[in-house]
Structures are given as structure tokens and as C-alpha cells.
């Protein structure tokens, strides 16, 4: 039988909904002044955007699985480049908008708060999806490297906050170092192959076993061409970018006047709004058995988010952006470092023990994040 080329009929159902939402959401994002809208209208738009983001994230995870299966790129690389890159774009839109409008500190808070929030998403997904600890079923060494590089980048940020920064060519000296290390990190990740340098010794867990369920899901789309997956992945990505931006702007308008302060709002509520794409993609990939892709999605998003601090500094104008923040942001960076380190310990130990349906490390991550948010609330006046 002759294979049919991608046609309009292949984009029916939710795929057609994504196509239809594309111009609608773009128009809403560009035309509306959310701060001037009624509170209930903003709430309605926020909820609608959240639903759209969730649908687009679920579909993007499906297309990522097809792309991984047909190209042989591997879950970790697809999770880093496709899921991590696309789902981090709402944070980029919020960061640049806030920075250009003269509120660079809000952008920094959103980035640093979002990193810890996104890692906590893995802990919640661990409890919802499976009976085994997440870190006991992720055998790919690329995750170690992603986590280690993320901690290195966050340490540069923490250092810049503690000792101050000096502007050089439109950005702080520490932030230039951050950009260079980020570029090197991407090069290292692109050169790493999954057959190096760590192999799990757990007989119950292997890459073949992890990929078994993923291949079953990919089998459902085996007749769909690669071009179909790439095209619809682009559509889903566009929907996530626009609706994620709408989420952040309406969330900002809803929270205005609450008295929580920009520091706490940016690190918690705005971070939650811009992390909805990661929530949907992580939930979908873990349901499909793509555990490596789910963790790589989060760690990859974190890496891209940290790099956005360079763009915030460049577009913020004047002094180095890290000179406008303080103890609040430094503590937010430490929370992000801590939750990442906990998962790296869990990946190395591979202890398959659970409590409340999640691994001990996931419980520790969730507890650390909640405790950190409480402390951030009391530190909200100590920003720059």
C-alpha cells in the first residue's frame, strides 16, 4: 500500500485544535492589556491558557517520542533539545518582557524560582505515575552530566549575587562567564553518547526495559512519517510559547495588589504559571514510560532558563542585573542547587525504596522545595 503524505486529515482532533488555537492565542497575547482587565476575566483567560498549555504539552510529548524513535537521537537528547528548549520559551518571553520594561529583578526571580519548581514537578510525577522510585528507572548517564552542569551554572549565579558584578559590554562579568560555560555545556552534551561512561548494575533496570514501554507507545504512531511529528511539534511549541506568555501576564495581573511583593510572586506564582508546559510534558512522558526523557526535559529546561539570565542582563540596561538582587535570589539559587543535588545522589545510589508512592529522594526534593518556599516568604523583603 502506498504511504500517504501528511494531509489535513492527519491533523484532526486535538491536533486540529492546536492549529486553530495558534492565531487565536497570538492575537490575544498581542492585543490585550491584561493589567487593565477585570480580575475575573483575567482568571478565565488564565484557566483557558492553562488548559491549552496542558493539551499542547501532552501532544508535544507524543511527537517527541515519535521523533526519538524515528531518528534514533535518544530520549535524553530529545528531552534536552526539543522538550527542554520549547517548554523554556515562555520563561524567555516573560524574562525579556520584564527586563525591557525595567523590572529585571522580577525576571531573575521568575527564572531562579522556576528552576526549583520544575525539579519539584518530577517529585510530584514520581508519586502520581509509578510504584518504583523514579531515579531507579533512569539509566542514562547524560542525566548526571545535565545535573552537574546545572549546578555549576547555578553556582556562578550564586557567586555573582554574593560578591557583586561589574558591567562589561552590556552585561555583567559573571554573566559573561555564565554564557561561556553554558555554551561549553551544550557542546559537551552534544558530544556525549549514552554508551559512556556509566552503566547501571541493577539487573531489574536496563535501557531495553525502560524503552520497552516507550516503544509500545511509539508503535501507535509507527505509520506516521517523521515530517508529521516535526510539523505538529512546531505547532504545539508555538501554542506553548504564546499561551505560556498569556499565563504569565494574566498571573501577574491576578497577583497585583496582594502585598506579596515582586520577589516572592516572581519566585513562586509566576514560576508556577510558566512551569505548566513542563508539568504537562513530564506527566505525559512518564505515563508513556519515557523516564529519561522526562528528567532530561526538566534538567534541559533548567539549563536553558539559566542561560536566559544573560539576555536579561543585556536587555536590562544600566548596571549589571545581579547588582539589583540580593539574599532572596541567592537563597532561591541555593534551593535549586539542593534539589538537583538530591536527585543526583538518588541516581547514583539507585535505591528503589518508596514512601507515599515516591522515592525517598523525591520526598526529600518535595520537602526541600516546600520548606524553601516558606523561607522565601519571610525573605521576600531582602531582595535587591
Mean pLDDT of the chain: 76
Burial 100-135 (b: 16+ CB within 10 A, else e): eeebbbbbbbbbbbbbbbbbbbbbbbbbebbebbbb
Instruction: Say how many residues make up the chain.
Output: 384
Range of the domain at 71: 10-379
Q: Which range, 78-87, 190-199, 317-326, is most confident?
A: 317-326
In a domain, 75, yes or no: yes
Question: Is residue 2 assigned to a domain?
Answer: no
Question: Is 5 domain-assigned?
Answer: no
- Which distant-in-sequence residues (6+ apart) come within 8 Å of 142 by Cβ? 74, 76, 77, 80, 189, 192, 194, 292, 296
Q: Who contacts 266 (Cβ-Cβ below 8 Å, separation ≥6)?
A: 105, 106, 107, 108, 109, 110, 113
Contact 62, 18 (CB under 8 A): no
Higher per-residue pLDDT: 205 or 191: 191
HEC sequence for the chain: CCCCCCCHHHHCCHHHHHHHHHHHHHHHHHHCCHHHCCHHHHHHHHHHHHHHHHHHHHHHHHHHHHHHHHHCCCHHHHHHHHHHHHHCHHHHHHHHHHHHCCCHHHHHHHHHHHHHHHHHHHHHHHHHHCCCCHHHCCCCCHHHHHHHHHHHHHHHHHHHHHHCCCEECCEEHHHHHHHHHHHHHHHHHHHCCCCCCCCCCCCCCCHHHHHHHHHHHHHCCCCCCHHHHHHHHHHHHHHHHHHHHHHHHHHHHHHCCCCCCHHHHHHHHHHHHHCHHHHHHHHHHHHCCCHHHHHHHHHHHHHHHHHHHHHHHHHHCCCCHHHHCCHHHHHHHHHHHHHHHHHHHHHHHCCCCEECCEEHHHHHHHHHHHHHHHHHHHHCCCCC
Q: What pLDDT was estimated at residue 364?
A: 94
Tally of structural domains, the chain: 1
206 located within any domain: yes
Is the pLDDT confidence value at 148 over 70?
A: yes
CATH code of residue 375: 1.20.1420.30
Domain for residue 4, yes or no? no
Q: Could you tell me if residue 3 is inside a domain?
A: no
- Percent of the residues in the chain that have a pLDDT greater than 90, as a whole number: 15
Per-residue pLDDT for 340 more than 70? yes
Residue 47: band (very low, low, confident or very high) from pLDDT cuts 50, 70, 90? confident
Q: Write down the pTM of the prediction.
A: 0.76
Q: Which residue has the higher pLDDT, 228 or 123?
A: 123
Q: Would you place residue 174 in the very low, low, confident or very high pLDDT band (cuts 50, 70, 90)?
A: very high
Q: What is the pLDDT of residues 72-107, one digit of tens each?
A: 676 777 777 677 777 777 777 777 777 776 677 777
pLDDT-derived band of residue 240, with 50, 70 and 90 as boundaries? confident
Q: Which three cell numbers stand for residue 202?
A: 541493577
Answer yes or no: is 150 within a domain. yes
- State residue 247's pLDDT score: 75
Report yes or no on 190 lying in a domain: yes
Amino acid at each position: 500500500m502506498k504511504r500517504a503524505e501528511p494531509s489535513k486529515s492527519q491533523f484532526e482532533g486535538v491536533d486540529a485544535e492546536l492549529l486553530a488555537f495558534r492565531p487565536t492565542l497570538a492575537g490575544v497575547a498581542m492585543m490585550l492589556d491584561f493589567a487593565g482587565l477585570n480580575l475575573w476575566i483575567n482568571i478565565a483567560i488564565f484557566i483557558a491558557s492553562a488548559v491549552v498549555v496542558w493539551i499542547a504539552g501532552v501532544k508535544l510529548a507524543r511527537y517527541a517520542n515519535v521523533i526519538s524513535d524515528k531518528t534514533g537521537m535518544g530520549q535524553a537528547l530529545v528531552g534536552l533539545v526539543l522538550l527542554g528548549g520549547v517548554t523554556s520559551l515562555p520563561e524567555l518571553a516573560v524574562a525579556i518582557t520584564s527586563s525591557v520594561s525595567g523590572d529585571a529583578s522580577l525576571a531573575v526571580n521568575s527564572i531562579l524560582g522556576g528552576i526549583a519548581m520544575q525539579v519539584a514537578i518530577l517529585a510530584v510525577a514520581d508519586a502520581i505515575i509509578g510504584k518504583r522510585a523514579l531515579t531507579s528507572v533512569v539509566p542514562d548517564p547524560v542525566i548526571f552530566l545535565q545535573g552537574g552542569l546545572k549546578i555549576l551554572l547555578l553556582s556562578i549565579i550564586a557567586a555573582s549575587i554574593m560578591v557583586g558584578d561589574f558591567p562589561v559590554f552590556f552585561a555583567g562579568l559573571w554573566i559573561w562567564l555564565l554564557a561561556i560555560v553554558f555554551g561549553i555545556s551544550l557542546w559537551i552534551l552534544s558530544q556525549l553518547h549514552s554508551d559512556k561512561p556509566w552503566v547501571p548494575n541493577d539487573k531489574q533496570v536496563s535501557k531495553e526495559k525502560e524503552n520497552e514501554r516507550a516503544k509500545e507507545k511509539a508503535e501507535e504512531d509507527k505509520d506516521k512519517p517523521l515530517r508529521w511529528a516535526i510539523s505538529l511539534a512546531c505547532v504545539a511549541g508555538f501554542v506553548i510559547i504564546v499561551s505560556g506568555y498569556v499565563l504569565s501576564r494574566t498571573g501577574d495581573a491576578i497577583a497585583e495588589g496582594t502585598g506579596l511583593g515582586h520577589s516572592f510572586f516572581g519566585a513562586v506564582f509566576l514560576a508556577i504559571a510558566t512551569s505548566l508546559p513542563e508539568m504537562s510534558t513530564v506527566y505525559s512522558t512518564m505515563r508513556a514510560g519515557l523516564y529519561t526523557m522526562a528528567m532530561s526535559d526538566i534538567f534541559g529546561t533548567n539549563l536553558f532558563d539559566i542561560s536566559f539570565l544573560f539576555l536579561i542582563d543585556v536587555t536590562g540596561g544600566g548596571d549589571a542585573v545581579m547588582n539589583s538582587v540580593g539574599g532572596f535570589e541567592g537563597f532561591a539559587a541555593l534551593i535549586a542547587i539542593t534539589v538537583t543535588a538530591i536527585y543526583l545522589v538518588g541516581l547514583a545510589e539507585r535505591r528503589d525504596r518508596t514512601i507515599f508512592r515516591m522515592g525517598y529522594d523525591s520526598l526529600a526534593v518535595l520537602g526541600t522545595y516546600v520548606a524553601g518556599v516558606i523561607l522565601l516568604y519571610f525573605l521576600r523583603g531582602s531582595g535587591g
